[in-house]
Amino acid sequence: MTSDNLLTFEKFNDPELAATIAAQLKAQGITSRIVNEGPAFDPTFANNNFDPTIHLKLSPDDFNKARRMLDRYYEGQLADMDPNYYLFSFSDAELLDLVKKPDEWGPLDYVLAKHLLAQHGIPISPEQEAAFQRDRIKTLTRPEKPELHWIIAGYIAAFVFSIPGLILGYILAFSKKTLPNGKQVYMYSSTERKHGKRILVLSTIIFLYWLWTFLNARLTPRT
């Protein structure tokens, strides 16, 4: 599989941690690639380090195996956890909700939440964990619902601006999301995707019309 077909498995703020995980994966025969997806230049000069920009990419076929390896890695880090780590203040209900939605948290939080629940007398069995994962995949597979005003804006942009219409149309028609198991699904339903394709076609026609008009005006000899 080429590097173009690798998908983001995890995101990190710390490039050294990403490199450590990549080395662990390599030891298990899993090929990975680390990519910095952050902008080369921040026009706001905010230097916002909260949004992870270091992407660890894998073949989708390796996602489940890599997830198990990552769990084992973080299980080995639990003995060195800071006692003031925020998860220690979570209620059992909050910890259980975290375990059911691991994609919204980091892998360390997921492993620690299971560990704390077990300490509190609420162990998560492999069968329960598998059931939670199936339910979560089912939930994440459902198409998202874009705001109606974005669809309307797409049609307006198609007739007036063309280029923004092309962008909005493409996003609605072809955007995908990667599930925790490595599978990719379309982000929007078939209805919204049809709107996106119509916006894309209209934007293309209008863009070509204005381009032809511009070139024709420039190339027509003046009398």
Residues 153 and 206 both lie in one domain? yes
Residues 128 and 159 both lie in one domain? no
> So what's the pLDDT on residue 41?
41
Check pLDDT > 90 for residue 89: yes
Q: Within the chain, where are the H helices? A: 15-27, 63-75, 92-100, 107-119, 126-141, 148-160, 163-174, 190-219
Q: Would you say residue 223 lies in a domain?
A: no
Q: Would you say residue 152 lies in a domain?
A: yes
Q: Virtual CA dihedral for 179, 184, 187, 188, nearest 10 degrees?
A: -130
Q: Would you say residue 126 lies in a domain?
A: yes
Residues 48 and 89 both lie in one domain? no
The residue out of 141, 173, 195 marking a domain boundary is 141
> So what's the pLDDT on residue 33?
94
Residues 160 and 136 both lie in one domain? no
pTM above 0.85, yes or no: no
Check pLDDT > 70 for residue 181: yes
> So what's the pLDDT on residue 38?
63
Across 43-49, average pLDDT: 43
> So what's the pLDDT on residue 52?
76
The residue out of 112, 141, 170 marking a domain boundary is 141
Residue with the bigger pLDDT between 213 and 199: it is 199
Residues 134 and 163 both lie in one domain? no
The residue out of 101, 118, 141 marking a domain boundary is 141
Residue 27 sits at φ, ψ, to 5 deg, of -65, -25
Residue with the bigger pLDDT between 3 and 138: it is 138
Across 35-47, average pLDDT: 55
Residues 185 and 209 both lie in one domain? yes
Residues 130 and 108 both lie in one domain? yes
For residue range 110-128, what is the model confidence (pLDDT) as tens digits? 999 999 999 999 999 999 9
Name the residue range of residue 123's domain: 76-141
If one counts the domains in the chain, the total is: 3
Q: Would you say residue 70 lies in a domain?
A: no
CA-to-CA distance for 177 and 10, rounded, in angstroms? 14
Q: Using the CB atoms, write b or e for 91-116: b if 16+ within 10 Å.
A: eeeebbebbbebeeeebbbbbbbbbb
Q: Would you say residue 11 lies in a domain?
A: yes
Residue 175 sits at φ, ψ, to 5 deg, of -65, 135
Residue whose tokens read 């000069």: 45
For residue range 152-179, what is the model confidence (pLDDT) as tens digits? 999 999 988 888 999 999 999 999 999 9
**Which pair of tokens denotes residue 37?**
């997806």
